[in-house]
Structure 1
Amino acid sequence: MQVFERLIDYAEAERLVLENSPPLPAEERPLLEAQGLALAEDVRAVFDSPPFDNSAVDGYALRSADAVPGRTFRVVDEAPAGRPARRGVGEGEAVKIFTGGVIPEGADAVVMMENTSGWGEEFELGKEASPGQNIRRRGEDVREGEVILRAGTEVGPYEIALAAAQGYGALPVRRRARVVVLSTGTELVEPGRRALSPGEIYDSNSYALVAQAREAGAEARRLYAAADDPGAIREAVAGALESADVVVTSGGVSVGEKDLVRSAMRELGVEQVFWGVRFKPGKPLFFGARRDARCFGLPGNPVSAMVCFELFVRPALMRMMGRVDRRRPRVRVRFGEDVKNRFGRMHAVRVALERTGEGWTARSVGSQGSGIISSLTRADAIALIGPGAEVKAGEEVEAILLREPRGGW
């Protein structure tokens, strides 16, 4: 039987994953296709925005020095958006102007139509005006050459609006990582196909891992579960390596006789970065690389697979896709009772959170078994308890948020 060559600490495993998961190549994508992707480089303003002084309202552009209530003004021109007035304004004159219209020469204020006697060739002013009133100044939004969007920013509706306002038709982004997920085991049955025979289970892992990858922003697909046969596993892994940036398997990476995935990966040229982490649940985690592909061999137990994805695969995907927010938010939490880690490795405890006057209080969601899938549906976070640690009630530990706490922020 094989044994783990060297178990490494959680922090070292996390570091090695990030160091060996370089960003994907940058590419230009049309604005709407860039949505949800991360910028590969800073984006700068091409020109001042707005590019000229313009009106914030519909009304009249005039000289504020003339703006005495009760005075009558003569309308000499008009300035709708997109067509500047041909004339400027002098004493007692005004230009009819609409929102976005260019401020005419000589004018330093715009009065709202509601504060006049109405539209016409002349009008009576009902309220005084001050210099700059209702005028949007050139460059008050952004200045030419200014960085308007930082590398690593996720492109959303507001970023698209700003880029479009600067004339960008496309943006430099990191594409979505392509993830292929494979579950192994002769005991696996496709959900929805048929009833289970004795000793069989439904394949939940590949569905969960694809969902986690998509939630992280990657493109992900499943391969049919391979049987516990070296040839079948090797063929499945080889197919995944041909098309994926990241290959994720569950099962077949521990030290048992039937754990064949790691061997198949090594035979196909995957260079092992590490195998085995002082971490619960997830001791047999495998990580390796072949050319541009990264390979994660996750444990076969469902909770172990999903927790390892959150703590190792997800950060790798964030880095590859150029996301600044590579990790889930981390918070300090307090347990309401003493907690002891009786294992000689980091323990990721599934907890529910409650906001109190002293901060976040954590409580275990119940059994921490690696097959208790329902525990993750009740968990708000994963609290990290060090090897052999005894955490006293009220003592702070670090926790990784999986979702917004059910009680809210």
Structure 2
Amino acid sequence: MPSATPLYDVRGRGFARRAPVTEAWAWIDDRIVPPPARSLPLVECAGLRLAEAVMALGDWPPADRAAVDGYAVAAADTLGAGSYNPVPLTAAVAVTAGDPLPPGCDAVVPFEAAQAVGPFVEAIDAVAPGSGVERQAAWTRAGSQLLPAGRRLRPGDLGLLAAAGWGAGYGAGYGMVPVLPAPRVRILLAGGPKAGAPEQLGAMLAALVGRDGGAVEAVEDRTADLDALAEAFAQPGADLILSAGRTGTGPDDVAPVALAQAGSLDLHGIAMRPGGSAGLGLAGGVPVLLLPGEPMAALAAYELLAGRAVRRAAGLPAGLPHAATEVVTARKLVSEIGSVDLHRVRLDDDGRVEPAASPVWPGLAAAARADGFVLIPAESEGVPDGVPVTMYGFA
């Protein structure tokens, strides 16, 4: 049980300094690495990263096969065939797509290009050698690379692996694939009068963690008191902990104190807006990221800090996962020197960007209205209208 006496208390004192965002990124990169690889059944691998390249176990297709339903033939037997000159096929074999070609056949006449006359089949269209055929090893040869290391597995990838012999069924011999398991992320809602509704923050953060390759272990309401939050930080089981709310320096801001009590508060106060009261530390060796409770600040701190931590833990690229587009500002984006500003923006009818927030669209309404965000560096006083900027778009 943690002591009721805080080991570290910033309440009422303000921030001694605000660490640059790059310093917070270095802290994350130095302490968070992907978990060891595991071999999992194919049906459990969707969305996970391949730990190593997967090689083809054999040729695919394993032999020449029909690509369409029809009659397997020797193409030479169809020479001269047409609708006014049907040509009898003495060695036609009915096949469906995927069937191996019978010996002596090198093409498939589709059913619509043939007609049955009693027990006989006639071609009413000529075909060339290879027509209607999928050649052996057309997709991959034995020993070649099917998918590279680091690939995030999509449903189509799982189908390819199953077809290529990595998972042929649901019983004995079911394929196992080497993957990086999703990091277990615990979300703690620290509450407080500055926070949004707990279900609001919990739903947003859980969705963001899933986007970035994490698996939410639990979403817990820990608004009771300092010791309850410290106990939650110290509880084992998670690979990463995100806490939302009570991150400032006011009398009710217990999150940084609780983290210091449970382990270490390494950085508190980041030179970014919104979200500048974010913090980082360790509890039982597990990285903990403190996010503000105000929803827009929590979203910004997640995008710039916590998201990077989740992606690194999942074996994904650490950088922002959004598509970057060059756009032009329609209105000035206001900033001040000393902090990285995350401006949520929307595209106007001319394809230019303007701030999404306004007195009419505050908070989460502005977030829902935004098409993306623009990052203004700490050394900038803002961006005037008519200037090119990079927008990180929302999918």
Q: Is the Cα contact below 8 Å between 2:234 and 2:284 reproduced in 1?
A: no
* Structure 2 equivalent of residue 90 of structure 1: none
* Structure 1 equivalent of residue 244 of structure 2: 250
Q: Deviations over 1:46-79 (max 9, x none)?
A: 111100011223333333233232443324xxxx
Q: Is the Cα contact below 8 Å between 1:350 and 1:368 reproduced in 2?
A: no
Letter in 2 for 1:41: E
Letter in 1 for 2:130: G
Quote the offset at 1:3 in angstroms: 5.3
Say whether 1:143 aligns with 2:171: no
* Cα distance between partner residues in 1 of 2:264 and 2:309: 17
* Cα distance between partner residues in 1 of 2:359 and 2:47: 34
* Structure 1 equivalent of residue 342 of structure 2: 348
| Structure 1 unmatched ranges of 5 or more | 76-93, 189-199, 405-409
Quote the offset at 1:324 in angstroms: 4.5
* Cα distance between partner residues in 1 of 2:285 and 2:65: 51
Q: Which moved more, 1:378-387 or 1:338-347?
A: 338-347
Quote the offset at 1:186 in angstroms: 5.4
* Structure 2 equivalent of residue 196 of structure 1: none
Q: 1:28 to 1:292 in 2, by over 3 A?
A: farther
Letter in 2 for 1:17: I
* Cα distance between partner residues in 2 of 1:342 and 1:35: 43
Alignment: residue pair count: 367
Letter in 2 for 1:394: G
Matches within 5 A, 1:15-26: 15-26=26-37
* Structure 2 equivalent of residue 192 of structure 1: none
SS in 2 for 1:319: helix
Q: 1:55 to 1:232 in 2, by over 3 A?
A: closer
| Structure 2 unmatched ranges of 5 or more | 1-11, 167-174
Say whether 1:276 aligns with 2:269: yes
Q: Percent identity?
A: 29
Say whether 1:30 aligns with 2:26: no
SS in 1 for 2:352: strand
Q: 1:2 to 1:354 in 2, by over 3 A?
A: same
Q: Is the Cα contact below 8 Å between 2:64 and 2:133 reproduced in 1?
A: yes
* Structure 2 equivalent of residue 323 of structure 1: 316
* Cα distance between partner residues in 2 of 1:373 and 1:172: 40
Quote the offset at 1:344 in angstroms: 2.5
* Cα distance between partner residues in 2 of 1:368 and 1:26: 49
Quote the offset at 1:255 in angstroms: 3.1
Say whether 1:311 aligns with 2:322: no
* Structure 2 equivalent of residue 222 of structure 1: 219
Quote the offset at 1:249 in angstroms: 1.2
* Structure 1 equivalent of residue 110 of structure 2: 112
Please give the TM-score of this superposition, normalised by the length of structure 2: 0.82
Quote the offset at 1:382 in angstroms: 1.7
* Cα distance between partner residues in 2 of 1:23 and 1:184: 27
Q: Is the Cα contact below 8 Å between 2:259 and 2:282 reproduced in 1?
A: no
* Cα distance between partner residues in 2 of 1:230 and 1:126: 84
SS in 2 for 1:313: helix
Say whether 1:396 aligns with 2:382: no
Q: 1:19 to 1:400 in 2, by over 3 A?
A: farther
Which of 64, 72, 78 is 2:88 aligned to? 72
* Structure 1 equivalent of residue 363 of structure 2: 372
